[in-house]
Structure 1
Amino acid sequence: MPGTVLLLAASPLGRGRLVDAAAVLPVLAAVAPTVLSGTDTANVVELADPVDPQGVLTRLRAAAAAPGPLTVFLTGQLHLDRRQRLPHLALARTTVATVRYTALPWHWIREELRLRAPGQTALLVDLHADPEAWRHLHEHPLDCGRATAVYGRIAPPHGRRGLAEPSYMKTVATLLRSGHRPPLDDLHQQALARIPEETATNILLAPAPVQAPQPYPAIPHPAPGGTLGTGPATGGRQTYGGPVGTGTGTGAVVEPGAVAEPGGVAESDAVVELDAVVAPGAVVEPGIPLSIPPQLASPATRTPLAETAAPADPAADPHAAISTAVRAGRHEEADAIAARYQEAVADEHGPASEDALHWAEVRADLAMFAGDPVRSCRGWLEVAEHRLAAGQPADAPAVEAAVDRAHHQWGRIEEAAHARELGPALARLRARVPGRRQGALEDVRRQLSQLQQT
């Protein structure tokens, strides 16, 4: 099975530039794609100083949806947005005042990668932090999700004139140019050994030893008997591409022509399409089939729940059974498994508990995979209402993501009656949770007005 490699180097073009991130790309591009990926064949996507966060998200989403191993080489700099104090990867047009709208939120990266199978994703980073981000990272370590192996370093502001060098990533690329890719643990240590004077003051990133999961009591259920689903929806009304927020994520590919502006520049409503990929390898095509990994990651604090199929394996995770059912087209069976777990944790912890909301989010994603935007939209609306009722702020990433996903799925509903039914609830939520894209509430109101005239 071919691997996928994403080479991403980004930093502002103006005075806020801390590191010459793009300088590493020629060195990485000189490495054979198969060596970059560690597989027999590989597709490589290269992004050099991208401008639009949505464009980066679209290509990251396509890479994350591709089957087989994924390796991301990421070079750039981190800043905090002024509103939520969350880390962002600065892009070409990013300034201190526009981080929220022109940079890529780090949790978008985490949420796209979290849907992949454990052991299939590696993230190698060479990042430089501005003073605020550097202080923040000492209290809030960079979260990349449980399913992603992360190697690299985060450097503090270097305090000298001129730009910092992405020396860690250049060293990694130089080692790989030998034509051999050692295990990533060894590659990381070899790179650090070559630049000890620089990395001595860095935050070093490497996977922690894997701990065996503790078994969770199995929830019995009848033998599988679900029917084939309809498959992903195609077509529909105007689509809305909501951002990926904390605690949620579909991993879906943005279709060509879909309006998708989760973090773009406020004054832009540009249409983003998967039309061109710079690659010293194969091209990731538009509309790439969605690959459902064998584990939909649960929140980091949750002990994996047990697989419930007979014979029961107390150490297994039901997310694997759900993914297997979805791949086989048994969407009703997948939803039934998730529903049983949602009911069990709701009885024990309440319907608004994080465990119950996790399973509600999984079911909303499953409805999307089954091509049922009505049920998916309704599920995301309920998740958003629960989070707001629990006191979570309207700009919390999990709340914004739930409303944005509800908006996106509502835009794919073809039956006017269902769209009219769910539209008012979405409009009320949009008034409370405007999200990052300007004009989202006006978009709902405009489409509702059109629906009422039909």
Structure 2
Amino acid sequence: MLIKGQEPGTALLLAAAPANKGRLIDAASALPGLAAVAPGVLTGTEAASIVELADPVDPQTVLTRLRAVAAAPGPLSVYLAGQLHVDTRRNQVHLALARTTQASLRYTAFPWDWLVHELQVRGPGTTTVIVDLVADPAAWQRLRQEGVGLGPGVRLYGRVAPPAPRRAIASPDYVKAYAQVWRGGARPPLAELHAYAANQAAQADRAGPGAALLLSADIPSAAPPAPRPLPSAAPSTPRPLPSVPSAGTRANPARPLPSPPTVPPTAGGLPADPHPAILAAARAGRHGEAASMAAVWESEAMRAHGPSSPQALHWLEVRADLARLAREPARSCELWMACAQALLARRRTTDDADVQAAVDRAHHQWEQLGDPERVRALAPDLIALRTRVPGRQAGALEAVQRRLEQLQAVPAAGR
């Protein structure tokens, strides 16, 4: 139902799922049908623009796009297909992205809290979110107990299902039903369309009819009467921090951007070698632009060569180094740890030079952190890596443990 006299609307189409054996839903299959619908129908306005994200690899890229559409003055409609997981260490729900594994969840997935926070800056009643999600067992248990929401003022319709049996890949049939109805010319109220789409999805649900959690106007039908939104916290953008003395000697982490693979990935309309433009943007202080360019090339490399290919891992290294240039040591540390974990997953040995370099750089960036909370939060993963990859310099693991011991005398925030 189109609303006359409104400002142009914006539709964000986001479909994301791991490009590995952790995939629970064929999220991207929801996009062709939605993209074929007139933009104004997606937003309920006479005119609208569309932003589409298909299997993004970087949570910061998703956050940048989300912030941009949330800042638009007109109505916003978000269509989200994907899968949810719980980071048990921080007790946070995340939306999995293309590179996400359970081990790398906090580095490679998009926190649900970020979605809550970004949408709360908008005026009440201006935002509609339609979701078609599969939750892994831990996330499913939590959502059944606590419900799922996006805070006051956001209209939420959707469906969250448990994993399909026998590791089958689910289909986003709920969102596909929306597209089917709209492409047929009908424009029912959202509440009616939600009921129809939920019924269509239930008939095809391999987990059995009635297994899914239905969401309507912020009230999940199978949850307690007054569900609270998932805990909301503003995503932190690490501020530039002063350098702190190194707790141990190790390889010099300051270096140019990583050299490209022998055969760099190619993409239509993109330069043959994007590294000079990316480095120029970073040196000019346009760090968001540089990171976005690198994420585009990483996505292209993953499509062309696979998520664990040398080409894709190269761009993960580039993004880690760009975070260092942007003086975001927490982000750089996380990305370098993800590099090390990805290399080890490819059966590279713990004495491999690239593995050791990635862990050394993660360690160095961790040492640059001045926020005790961030130091504590990243330490367990760094200790796990340092235990496996001690490095060529003696005392690296002990240096991490010593710094944590020194922090014990400093009470953590909120305790």
CA contact (8 A) 1:5 1:42 kept: yes
CA contact (8 A) 1:6 1:46 kept: yes
- Residues of 1 paired with 2:18 and 2:369: CA distance? 37
Amino acid at match of 1:246: S
Greater RCO, 1 or 2 (C-alpha within 8 Å, sep 6+): 1
Amino acid at match of 1:12: P
Seen in structure 2, the aligned counterparts of structure 1 residues 80 and 161 have a Cα distance that, compared at 3 Å, is: closer
Offset at 1:61?
0.5
With normalisation by structure 2, the TM-score equals: 0.53
Amino acid at match of 1:201: A
Amino acid at match of 2:43: S
> Do residues 32 (structure 1) and 38 (structure 2) align?
yes
1:246 corresponds in structure 2 to 232
Offset at 1:159?
1.0
Offset at 1:200?
1.2
CA offsets per residue over residues 378-423 of structure 1, 9 Å max, x none? xxxxxxxxxxxxxxxxxxxxxxxxxxxxxxxxxxxxxxxxxxxxxx
Match of 1:68 among 68, 74, 78: 74
Secondary structure of 2:79's aligned partner = strand
CA offsets per residue over residues 34-67 of structure 1, 9 Å max, x none? 1111111001000000000000000010000001
Seen in structure 2, the aligned counterparts of structure 1 residues 434 and 273 have a Cα distance that, compared at 3 Å, is: farther
- Residues of 1 paired with 2:295 and 2:60: CA distance? 14
Amino acid at match of 1:111: H
CA offsets per residue over residues 167-223 of structure 1, 9 Å max, x none? 1111111111123433211211121233343351101001158xxxxxxxxxxxxxx
1:226 corresponds in structure 2 to none
- Residues of 2 paired with 1:207 and 1:7: CA distance? 20
Secondary structure of 2:90's aligned partner = coil
Match of 1:169 among 170, 175, 191: 175
> Do residues 189 (structure 1) and 195 (structure 2) align?
yes
Amino acid at match of 1:23: S
CA contact (8 A) 1:35 1:179 kept: no
In structure 2, stretches of 5+ residues that fail to align are: 1-6, 220-230, 238-280, 297-367, 380-415
Q: Percent identity?
A: 49
- Residues of 1 paired with 2:106 and 2:218: CA distance? 31
1:52 corresponds in structure 2 to 58
- Residues of 2 paired with 1:249 and 1:149: CA distance? 22
Offset at 1:70?
0.2
Matches within 5 A, 1:223-238: none
2:108 corresponds in structure 1 to 102
Secondary structure of 2:150's aligned partner = coil
- Residues of 2 paired with 1:43 and 1:260: CA distance? 22
Secondary structure of 2:165's aligned partner = coil
- Residues of 2 paired with 1:434 and 1:41: CA distance? 47
Secondary structure of 1:68's aligned partner = coil
Seen in structure 2, the aligned counterparts of structure 1 residues 435 and 104 have a Cα distance that, compared at 3 Å, is: farther
CA contact (8 A) 1:8 1:72 kept: yes
- Residues of 2 paired with 1:90 and 1:160: CA distance? 20
CA contact (8 A) 2:57 2:295 kept: no
> Do residues 123 (structure 1) and 129 (structure 2) align?
yes
Offset at 1:260?
5.8
The number of residue pairs the alignment matches comes to: 242
2:374 corresponds in structure 1 to 433
In structure 1, stretches of 5+ residues that fail to align are: 210-244, 262-269, 277-426, 439-454
CA contact (8 A) 2:129 2:155 kept: yes
- Residues of 1 paired with 2:149 and 2:17: CA distance? 21
CA contact (8 A) 2:198 2:214 kept: no
2:268 corresponds in structure 1 to none
> Do residues 144 (structure 1) and 154 (structure 2) align?
no
CA contact (8 A) 2:59 2:108 kept: yes
Seen in structure 2, the aligned counterparts of structure 1 residues 79 and 258 have a Cα distance that, compared at 3 Å, is: farther
CA contact (8 A) 1:36 1:181 kept: no
Match of 1:80 among 55, 70, 86: 86
Match of 2:28 among 22, 25, 28: 22
Secondary structure of 2:21's aligned partner = coil
- Residues of 1 paired with 2:178 and 2:235: CA distance? 31
Secondary structure of 1:97's aligned partner = coil
CA contact (8 A) 2:81 2:131 kept: yes
Offset at 1:141?
1.6
Secondary structure of 1:164's aligned partner = coil
- Residues of 1 paired with 2:55 and 2:159: CA distance? 20
Amino acid at match of 2:372: A
1:272 corresponds in structure 2 to 292
> Do residues 201 (structure 1) and 211 (structure 2) align?
yes
Secondary structure of 1:433's aligned partner = helix
CA contact (8 A) 1:151 1:206 kept: yes
CA contact (8 A) 1:59 1:274 kept: no
- The 10-residue stretch of structure 1 (129-138 or 58-67) with the greater mean CA deviation from structure 2: 129-138
Aligned-CA RMSD value: 3.0
Match of 1:89 among 63, 86, 95: 95
- Residues of 2 paired with 1:274 and 1:61: CA distance? 19
Amino acid at match of 1:271: A
Amino acid at match of 1:96: Q
Secondary structure of 1:205's aligned partner = strand
Secondary structure of 1:122's aligned partner = strand
Secondary structure of 1:45's aligned partner = strand
